[in-house]
Chain A
Amino acid sequence: MLGSWLAGCSDTDWQTKDISGLMPPLEFDLTSESGETVVAQAFRGDVTLLFFGFTHCHDVCPTTMAHLDSIIGELDEEARGDLQVLFVSVDPSRDDPDTLREYTANYGPEFVGVTGTEDALNALTRRYRVTYSHGEKDETDHYDVSHPNAVFAFDREGKAQFLIRESDPRKVVIDDLRKLLGRRLGA
């Protein structure tokens, strides 16, 4: 582990943050925006982007979703068909399947909302070593939720590949996404 890390983890030179070898494959057991149970295996065969947020977010979530939507718009139609963006709501008490569906409808068809019980969400956030927390309610019952701002990218086999940070230039993200989408299963 230490040797491969020091030598550089991946056989692909990602321009965004390479997380291959650092993070485990995609695994979860959540509820989709259609109200059905959904597991990570359902997304095998597609490139998957994973983002944690909540629909009442006023800054990071809408900015990141719009940014991803616009980047995906620059990809070929065929590539777009092989891409899924999982918006994992860490605020399940407000983000029921209907709310999630309405929210992701603002973006392209690649966007899928998922959420789950506290245990299921904690298992997923622990797996990717991220965290979230809920703030105090104000007089209108509104509360803030702190959450990670990164987007995790997984290949068609569900293996972690790279991480997109807010500071990553647009061109770099597009290049890495094209490269990842260009890889076929078993390649």
Chain B
Amino acid sequence: MWELERVVGYLLPWEFSPAWAIACLVAAGCYLRGLKRQRSKGQAPDLWRSFAFLLGVIGVYAVTQTQYDYLSQFMFFTHRAQHLVLHHMAPFLIALAAPLPVLAAGLPVRSVSLPGRAMAGRVLGPLYRLLQHPLIAPLLFVGLIYFWLIPEIHFDAMLSRQLYQIMNWSMLLDGLLFWWLMLDPRTPEQGGLGYGTRILVMLAVITPQVLLGAYFTFSERVLFDVYDVCGRAWPIAPLTDQRLGGLLTWIPASMMSVIGILIVVRHILAGKDDANTGKADPERGMTQP
């Protein structure tokens, strides 16, 4: 019983944030409702796609609305792991799931005819296209990582509750935009970004992340004194903390690009096979709403 209470305690938010909780619950709820509706019509996506989407949403919730968030605030390497989930892994899984048809099916009917929908589209459309430009997207992706890791900026972000939330939201939203562009299920013919361009973009973001991670890993001085100033979650040598954080910025973050490239290469090869055999790949070119 005591063990159960302890586990429940770990799952409770360190700092409850309605925005994170609502976003995760609405995304999961909408997806599950859409899945049920699509199943009843025999249009459900592959099981692995549903699993990827829900795992991504659970990942976002776990690093923001459980006691893990405490560790993220008071240790550099656990903070880097939090951003690895928010900026890389969770958005990657969500984009890989190609969830738009299911989410659209799960939306309440009223939301389709909401007033101002067309206006919002006209205002946000150009901004979205700008952020998804193949030159802007990688700059933004790498730029945000660097920006929040400028020691003085990082100091303020960890000290201020509001800035901390802005930092985490910016990482998640940018991660979703970037990996959505890279793993867009539409073929280039259907309006998706060219496969070659996707590979180039994912290659381009590897080197800056490797350099930054290596810099943290091999630095002989503590770069982020906010964790000394505010205290660490448990006693750990500051340089060890920084080196672990550097490795997380360096290796798994870069590996996500490699996995992304392999997925795009698979699409290219599948496209060639289709052309040779005259068959269509059912997993590609999913209709988007």
Contacts and interface: CB of A to CB of B under 8 A. Distances in A.
Q: Note whether A and B form a binding pair.
A: yes
B108 interface: no
A23 interface: yes
A108 B176 CA distance: 55
B2 interface: no
B159 A22 contact: yes
Contact of A133 (B166, B230, B233): B233
Contacts of B234: 133, 146
A163 B226 CA distance: 11
Contact of A129 (B158, B228, B235): B158
B74 interface: yes
Contact of A146 (B156, B158, B162, B232): B232
B155 interface: yes
Interface residues of B, number: 22
Contacts of B229: 130, 148-150, 163, 165
A165 to B, nearest CB: 6
Interface string A115-141: 000000000011001111101000000
Contacts of A42: none
B163 A1 contact: yes
A130 B155 CA distance: 12
B143 to A, nearest CB: 15
Contacts of A133: 231, 233-235
Contact of A149 (B74, B162, B228, B233): B228
Nearest to A151: B229
A149 B226 CA distance: 10
A147 to B, nearest CB: 6
Contact of A131 (B163, B166, B225, B230): B230
B37 to A, nearest CB: 39
A107 interface: no
A130 B235 contact: no
B232 A129 contact: no
Contact of B156 (A22, A131, A135, A149): A22
Given A135-B235, A148-B231, A129 B162 contact: no
Central interface residue in B70, B73, B159, by most chain A CB within 10 Å: B159
B230 A130 contact: yes
Contact of B163 (A22, A52, A135, A165): A22
Given A1-B162, A2-B166, A131 B231 contact: yes
Nearest to A146: B235
B163 A130 contact: no
A146 B75 CA distance: 13
Interface in B145-174: 155-156, 158-163, 166
Central interface residue in A17, A131, A147, A166, by most chain B CB within 10 Å: A131
A2 B164 CA distance: 11
Contacts of A146: 231-232, 234-235
Interface of B: 15, 70, 73-74, 155-156, 158-163, 166, 225, 228-235
14 contacts: A5-B156, A5-B160, A22-B160, A129-B73, A130-B229, A130-B230, A131-B230, A131-B231, A131-B233, A133-B233, A133-B235, A146-B235, A149-B231, A165-B225
A-B pairs with lowest CB-CB distance, top 6: A22-B160, A150-B229, A148-B231, A131-B231, A130-B230, A131-B74
